[in-house]
Amino acid sequence: MEWFTENRHDILVAFGFTVEMVVIAGVVALVLGAILAAMRVSPIPLARGIGTFYVYAVRNTPLLLIMLLFAFGIPNLDIRPELHLGDAELLRLNVFFVFATAALGLYTAAFVCEAVRSGINSVPLGQAEAARAIGLTFGQSLRLVILPQAFRAVLQPVASALIAMIKNSAIAVGVGVTEMGFEMQKLQNDHPSSRWEIFIVFAIAYMLLVAIVALVTAALERRARIA
Amino acid sequence: MSSSVLFDEPGPRARVRFRLYNGVFVLVVLGVIALVLYKFNAAGQFESRIYHRLSENGVITELRRGLVATLEAAGLAIAVALLLGIVLAVARLSDHRWIRVPATAFVEFFRAVPLVLLIIFLFGLAGATSPMSGWDTRTQGLAALVTGLMLYNGSVLCEVFRAGVNAVPKGQAEAAYAIGMRKNQVLRVVLIPQGVRYMLPAIISQCVVALKDTSLGYIVLYPEFLRGSRTVAQYAGSFLVTYLLIALVYIAMNSVLSLLAYWAERRISQRGRGAARAVEHVEEALAAG
Amino acid sequence: MRLLKIKAVLVGAALAASTGALTACGSDGGDETDVEVKKASGLTGVAKELAEKGTITIGVKIDQPGIGFKAPGADAPEGFDIEIGRILAGALGISDDDITWVETVSDNREPFLQQGRVDLVIASYSITDDRRKIVGQAGPYYVTGQQLLVREDDKDRITGPDDLKSIKVCSVEGSTSLARVEDEYGAKPVPFATYSECVDQLQNETVDAVTTDGAILLGYAAEDPDNLEVVGDPFSEERYGVGYEKDAGGMCEFISDTLKSAEDDGTWATAFENTLGESGVETPDPPALDECA
């Protein structure tokens, strides 16, 4: 395991970048996904249209293409966002990190939207009818009746989307982000004899991240259990 | 659809309000579009030179070559993935633990590993192991890509097949056992032929996923559509415009496939609600990863 | 070429090179140098046999602009390495039509020579003692080293590796170039799969420098001489040599003598000017040749 001990620092930094990517993109995906879902069920035709169009377009496009679009295309517009939140290596988020994370978040948002929507649709019709019957508005029926019940149904699909996102974060290696996928590639080139070992270790690292999401989801499911 | 039950048929005041909301929305959207177009223009993205270059014959040929390479890889990958999926599904349905457990481990592993990582690993492996190391780099890339896609999609399809078989009404299997068929025959003669109907939409959806994932060949430099278009983008002078165009092509390709899936689902659902529900179950198994 | 064991680099450059194919404004191998096709006197051994055979097979790169690059659809590759090949063939009395160009990548240069699939290898092939144990290497015909490619506007700000602190520098994943600028000069590494993508990012102003062997950088600078420039003295050394089958009699003397005459009579300089020189860089002095063992 000398490849590990020799490069411990780099590996941990790469892991850190992956975690950062996943957390930031996850938040973006959840927020945007929820907004898109609301748009798709709202009474405003244009909002429904935009929501539908967004999801449709994103779901049929490869994530790598979206990342390339951001990393190579947006600079064509003279936009090159960077975030330097501090001096530590993990806090210097260069333009490629920003682009890749944004792309990941926007991509996953479409899947979160669909997950939330299916959750909302799984609530029995009678609930929504009853809410209308006692005079609740769109906003109120959504907030007080539908969403709390949809929450339970939503957990699994949203967790799936986030798990897929964690695995997809490795695609950022194609646009110059020094995250775990890149680190694995580098280590395999430098230590070709430990190829298999390195692959298994990195695979396990991703599985760990996935396991965390799965655990949190399970905990939330237990708490949201209705009697 | 409950969404239409979330709010009453709008009364006159509500209608006006909705129209107002719609109007505001329209204005905001138009504003955003205008801003984007302005930015594009200011950065010279509407220069005719870009579009002239993109429509040149050399460019079209280059793009077409990439597209063919993509379809090649996708076709190969789906074919072997289907085979592997069937083998794995049969293994997972086996009564013998020594077959079932390794198969389950295999499937769980390849569904959990990021596909990119798998492809990068396989590419490195190909370069270092003979006889693959003697191949030219394009073939190595293709091999890594197709193998990775096969392992991943094969595992997912295994789950689809399993779910499809399980979706067949229990009575069928019970009747088959009752007339003395053995496990093997039950699967082959009764369950799988009926199960296929339920699996079809999910299988086609997975083809869409596989097609999108061929773009990962970019990272191992296999000259598929996305990789080939980089050169085009550089030539045309605008990555933004070129990649947007490429995105449109992908959307078009996948739309055709998705339409197929939708059509297949409709036709099967027409056979009854039971069938529709079975299809849903299969798709859920698919979505869970 | 040196420690770049990564095929990715080569294939990447190959695809990178396709850029040249589509670039209308003369992506170069440039004009062809006039090479005298006249059998030299005093040939011995394998060199004599080749001259008598009248044909020769040379292994080259086809994916490095300016060095060894074949545009899709072109019949033959172009570049500085190709010109050297033509010069050597000329001295055997072999004209261009009788030269067969074979693509070689880093990993198969030695095997191809050992198996006799090629007679010579001229493919950014660095001379090293390790290699000299398995194949013969004569030359060098060009000395290069790690350098930096920057935008025209930055050439005063970034003049060499010491100016790289906290600068985003791009190179191909896995090359020693990237590790070196990070570890020794404090640069911020940005890895991509191909040099072309690095150059794209440089032009997009999302990175500020690209680093690898100067020879390769010059090739890219030659494609966009107004915007890109190679700066700094090389901070490593690579000596490109001509490979031939180990212990092939007469080859080392033949190659060294021919290279010397080409250097003396200006053919070497012309070859450089027509290929890598298109980048605007001044033609260097030809390197001193190693003694034949």
C43 CB within 8 Å of a chain B CB: no
Contacts of C197 in chain B (CB under 8 A): 230
DSSP for C165-228? Answer: TT-EEEEETT-HHHHHHHHHH--EEEEESSHHHHHHHHHTTS-SEEEEEHHHHHHHHHHSTTTE
- Give the model confidence (pLDDT) of B11-23 as tens digits: 777 778 878 888 8
3-class secondary-structure state, position C99: strand
φ/ψ of B93, rounded to 5, equals: -90, 0
pLDDT of residue B9: 67
**Count of domains observed in chain A:** 1
Rounded Cα gap, residues B241 and B220, in angstroms: 24
Rounded Cα gap, residues C61 and C38, in angstroms: 26
C72 backbone φψ class: left, alpha, beta (φ>0; ψ -120 to 50): beta
C11 CB within 8 Å of a chain B CB: yes
Domain boundaries along the sequence of chain C: 2-143+240-279, 146-231
Burial annotation C17-45 (CB, 10 A radius, 16+ → b, else e): bbbbbbbeeebbbbeebebeeeebeebee
pLDDT of residue B15: 79
- Give the model confidence (pLDDT) of B86-97 as tens digits: 899 889 888 888
**DSSP state, residue C54:** -
B133 CB within 8 Å of a chain A CB: no
Above 0.90 for ipTM, yes or no? no
Give me the domain span that covers residue A126: 2-226
- Give the model confidence (pLDDT) of B207-243 as tens digits: 889 999 999 999 888 889 998 888 888 888 889 999 9
* Cβ–Cβ gap C107/B223 under 8 Å: no
* Cβ–Cβ gap C11/B58 under 8 Å: no
**Nearest-CA distance B149 → chain A (Å):** 14
Judge whether residue C114 has pLDDT over 50. yes
A163 CB within 8 Å of a chain B CB: yes
pLDDT of residue C20: 40
The CATH number of the domain covering residues in C2-143+240-279: 3.40.190.10
Rounded Cα gap, residues B190 and A162, in angstroms: 38
User: Averaged over B113-121, what is the pLDDT?
Assistant: 94
3-class secondary-structure state, position B179: coil
Please state, as a whole number, how many other Cβ atoms lie within 10 Å of the Cβ of residue C184: 12
Q: Of B26, B39, B125, which is closest to A46 when you measure between CB atoms?
A: B26
* Rounded to 5°, angle at Cα A205 from A201 and A208: 135
A176 CB within 8 Å of a chain C CB: yes
> A193 burial class (0-12, 13-18, 19+ CB within 10 angstroms)?
exposed
pLDDT of residue C242: 93
When pLDDT is cut at 50, 70 and 90, the band that residue C28 belongs to is: very low
Which chains touch B (3+ CB pairs under 8 A)? A, C
Which of C5, C15, C107, C112 is most worth mutating to test chain B (most B CB atoms within 10 A of its CB)?
Answer: C15
CATH code, A28: 1.10.3720.10
Q: What stretch of H or E contains B105?
A: helix B97-112
Percent of chain C at pLDDT > 90 equals 18
B272 backbone φψ class: left, alpha, beta (φ>0; ψ -120 to 50): left
Better pLDDT: B278 or B28: B28
Task: Report the length, in residues, of chain B.
Answer: 289
> Do C74 and C98 meet the contact criterion of CB atoms below 8 Å apart?
no
Kindly report whether the peptide bond that precedes residue C140 is cis, defined as omega within 30 degrees of 0: yes
Which of B15, B117, B246 is most worth mutating to test chain A (most A CB atoms within 10 A of its CB)?
Answer: B117
pLDDT of residue C25: 36
What value does the mean pLDDT of chain B take?
Answer: 83
Please state, as a whole number, how many other Cβ atoms lie within 10 Å of the Cβ of residue C57: 16
3-class secondary-structure state, position C119: coil
Looking from the CA of C20 toward its CB, the CA atoms found within 13 Å total: 32
**DSSP state, residue C282:** P
The architecture (CATH level 2) of C146-231 comes to 3-Layer(aba) Sandwich (3.40)
Judge whether residue C2 has pLDDT over 70. no
Judge whether residue C8 has pLDDT over 50. no
What single letter denotes the amino acid at residue A100? A
- Tens-level pLDDT at each residue, chain A (227 residues): 778 888 888 899 999 999 999 999 999 999 999 999 988 888 788 888 999 999 999 999 999 999 999 999 888 888 888 887 777 777 788 899 999 999 999 999 999 999 988 887 888 888 878 888 888 877 787 788 877 788 888 888 899 999 999 999 999 998 989 899 998 988 887 787 888 999 999 999 999 999 999 999 989 888 877 64
pLDDT of residue B130: 64
C250 backbone φψ class: left, alpha, beta (φ>0; ψ -120 to 50): left
pLDDT of residue B269: 67
Rounded Cα gap, residues C214 and C149, in angstroms: 8
Judge whether residue C29 has pLDDT over 80. no
Judge whether residue B115 has pLDDT over 90. yes
> Do A7 and A191 meet the contact criterion of CB atoms below 8 Å apart?
no
Which of C4, C7, C228 is most worth mutating to test chain B (most B CB atoms within 10 A of its CB)?
Answer: C7
User: Averaged over B167-191, what is the pLDDT?
Assistant: 83
Percent of chain C at pLDDT > 70 equals 87
Rounded Cα gap, residues B216 and B142, in angstroms: 11
Beta bridge partners of C213: C146
What single letter denotes the amino acid at residue B74? A
pLDDT of residue C4: 39
- Comparing A103-112, A161-170, B245-254, C114-123, the range with the smallest average pLDDT is C114-123
Percent of chain B at pLDDT > 70 equals 86
Q: What stretch of H or E contains C64?
A: strand C63-64
3-class secondary-structure state, position A94: coil
CA dihedral over A57, A58, A61, A64, signed as positive or negative = positive
